[in-house]
């Protein structure tokens, strides 16, 4: 996809994807599944989504995955709360941010309950500080966080053992996708930066991205 | 009767199969549209889960259901480029979504074949709308329904790779849904969870549609 990367302007990228980039995207999708050899191979999608052991530091199996998600949701909730308090936004934009923050808080509640239901100990709320210089930089940060959050859920979907936990994770994952699309729209960027098929992110990438905001 | 339907526009969608041979995907789609019409698109998920659970066809069957849905969306948006008379931002959005849905169709067809299955035949669809506003209303419903349908099917998928790939599609459908809702001046993410809490009502209402 080298030609695609040369197109810096988001509108040009979008047009390229609409006209000529489709065969590459479809080929990537095919490479990601439909392996008929009967063995589990490490495809590109699985590699970038990470293996099953990545969330072990957060707990065993599904508890670990839920606690990883919970940690991210705590960060998103705290971020949106800070942004609302900052007074940088008014009117419709403020309402959007407020609502997204409420939804992240509901995610925190649901994930906490899910971990307890599985007999696990919910991850603690991390201490975080976010740079809130001006409306534009805050929107950019929000966009980064939401797109990353969606990719994080996508990266773990295949690692989840329980169908019930998976159903919950999918129900949250798509909402993060909605949030990401809205932030991208507010930033004048493509609603689908990865094209027709969203890409997963692994735990390492996600945690490295949020590391700068954690306070000890 | 129409006033009792939560999303009547879904009830108006015609799904016709030549030769009258309904595939599982067609049956599930018709049922999903009925569930959505009665209770709103959020309630599609449990119908899909139940309908898929009632059969043994596995991942190929699930992918064929998804393909049927993508045929619907792809046809809808391809038509809409002219028929909906979109302009400005909406025009670009329709083109982007049309391209995405077509790619979803191609990818699902190819994956089904790769898994040794046969892609379902593309049904004929009839969408009722007279103007851009009507198009937007239907678009919003289809995108929300699609998200709910994929989320319902997800836990039934056996292969990790197929699940990861389906996840990559549903996230894009959710992005579409949010963007269309913004065009409609509606809440882009109306609920914290894209899945309902109560299955019993829905299953009771759509039971007649399950073959």
Q: Do A32 and B168 touch (CB under 8 A)?
A: yes
A24 touches B at CB < 8 Å: no
Cα separation of B38 and B50, whole Å?
A: 17
- Looking at residue B20, what DSSP letter applies? G
Q: Give the distance from CA A215 to its chain's centroid.
A: 21
* B154 CB within 8 Å of a chain A CB: yes
Average pLDDT over residues A132-158: 95
Among B109, B171, B188, B197, the strongest candidate for a mutation testing the A interface, having the largest count of A CBs within 10 A, is: B171
* pLDDT score of A33: 57
Q: Does B54 touch chain A (CB under 8 A)?
A: no
Between positions 90 and 109 of A, the ones with CB within 8 A of B are 96, 99-100, 102-103, 106-107
- Rounded Cα gap, residues B182 and B187, in angstroms: 7
Contact A26 B106 (CB under 8 A): yes
Residue B189: list chain A partners with CB under 8 A.
99-100, 103, 175, 178-179, 182
B37-59 tens-digit pLDDT: 988 888 899 889 888 888 767 99
Contact (Cβ atoms closer than 8 angstroms) between residue A198 and residue B168: yes
CB contact A164 to B (< 8 Å)? yes
Give residue B21's pLDDT. 80
Q: Please determine, for residue B93, whether its predicted confidence score (pLDDT) is greater than 50.
A: yes
A-contacting residues in B 82-121 (Cβ below 8 Å): 92-93, 95-96, 98-100, 102-104, 106-107, 110-111, 114-116
Confidence at B211, pLDDT banded by 50, 70, 90: low
pLDDT digits (tens, 9 = 90+) for A132-144: 999 999 999 999 9
Place A32 in a pLDDT band, splitting at 50, 70 and 90. low
- Interval A67-125: pLDDT, tens: 999 999 999 999 999 999 999 999 999 999 999 999 999 999 999 999 999 999 999 99
Query: Looking at beta carbons, which residues of chain B come within 8 Å of A192?
Result: 96, 100, 172, 175-176
- Helices then strands, counting H and E runs in chain A, come out as 9, 0
- Phi and psi torsions of A90, nearest 5°: -135, 170
Residue A206: its pLDDT value, please?
97
Q: Residues B211, B22: contact at Cβ < 8 Å?
A: yes
- CA B23, B24, B27, B32 torsion: positive or negative? negative
What pLDDT digit, counting tens, does each position of A36-64 carry? 343 333 444 444 556 677 999 999 999 99
Chain B residues whose beta carbon lies within 8 Å of the beta carbon of residue A103: 189, 191-192
pLDDT for A49 equals 58
| DSSP symbol at A87 | T
Residue B70 and residue B171: Cα distance in Å, rounded?
14
Cβ neighbours of B159 in A, within 8 Å: 33
Higher per-residue pLDDT: B5 or B181: B181
pLDDT band at B81 (very low <50, low <70, confident <90, very high): very high
Which has more pLDDT, B73 or A15? B73
Mean pLDDT of chain B: 92
Q: How far apart are CA A156 and CA A154, in angstroms?
A: 5
Mean pLDDT along residues B23-38:
90
Average per-residue pLDDT for chain A: 84
DSSP string, A162-176: -HHHHHHHHHHHHHH
- Give the model's pLDDT for residue B209: 72
Contacts of B69 (CB under 8 A, 6+ apart): B25, B29, B32, B145, B146, B149
pLDDT of residue B184: 95
Q: What is the reported pLDDT for A22?
A: 55
Give the span between the Cα atoms of B211 and B197, in whole angstroms.
25
**pLDDT above 90 (res B1):** no
- The residues pairing with B14 across neighbouring beta strands, listed in sequence order, are B126
């Amino acid at each position: 996809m080298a030609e695609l990367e040369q197109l810096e302007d988001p509108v040009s990228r979008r047009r390229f994807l609409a006209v000529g980039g489709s065969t590459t995207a479809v080929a990537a999708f095919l490479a990601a599944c439909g392996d008929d050899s009967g063995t589990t191979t490490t495809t590109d999608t699985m590699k970038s989504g990470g293996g099953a052991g990545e969330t072990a530091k957060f707990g065993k199996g599904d508890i670990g995955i839920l606690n990883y998600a919970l940690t991210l949701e705590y960060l998103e909730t705290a971020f949106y709360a800070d942004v609302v308090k900052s007074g940088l936004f008014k009117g419709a934009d403020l309402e959007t941010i407020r609502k997204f923050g409420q939804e992240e808080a509901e995610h925190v509640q649901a994930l906490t309950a899910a971990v307890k239901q599985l007999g696990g100990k919910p991850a603690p709320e991390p201490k975080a500080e976010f740079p809130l210089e001006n409306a534009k930089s805050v929107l950019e940060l929000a966009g980064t966080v939401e797109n990353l959050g969606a990719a994080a859920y996508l990266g773990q979907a295949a690692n989840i053992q329980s169908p019930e936990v998976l159903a919950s994770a999918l129900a949250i994952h798509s909402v993060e996708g909605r949030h990401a699309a809205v932030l991208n729209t507010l930033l004048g960027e493509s609603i689908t930066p990865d094209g027709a098929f969203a890409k997963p992110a692994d735990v390492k990438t996600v945690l490295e991205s949020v590391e700068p905001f954690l306070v000890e | 009767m129409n006033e009792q339907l939560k999303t009547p526009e879904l009830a108006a969608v015609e799904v016709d199969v030549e030769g009258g041979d309904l595939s599982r995907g067609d049956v599930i789609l018709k049922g999903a549209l009925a569930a959505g019409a009665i209770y709103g698109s959020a309630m599609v998920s449990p119908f899909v889960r139940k309908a898929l659970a009632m059969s043994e066809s596995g991942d190929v069957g699930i992918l064929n259901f998804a393909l049927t849905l993508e045929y619907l969306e792809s046809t809808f948006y391809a038509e809409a480029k002219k028929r909906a008379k979109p302009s400005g931002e909406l025009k670009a959005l329709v083109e982007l979504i049309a391209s995405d849905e077509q790619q979803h169709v191609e990818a699902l067809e190819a994956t089904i074949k790769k898994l040794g299955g046969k892609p379902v035949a593309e049904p004929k669809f009839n969408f009722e709308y007279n103007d851009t506003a009507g198009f937007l209303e239907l678009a919003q419903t289809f995108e929300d329904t699609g998200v709910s349908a994929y989320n319902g099917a997800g836990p039934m998928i056996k292969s990790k790779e197929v699940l990861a790939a389906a996840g990559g599609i549903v996230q894009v459908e959710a992005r579409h849904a949010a963007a269309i809702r913004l065009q409609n001046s509606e809440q882009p993410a109306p609920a914290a969870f894209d899945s309902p809490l109560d299955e019993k009502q829905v299953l009771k209402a759509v039971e007649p549609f399950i073959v």
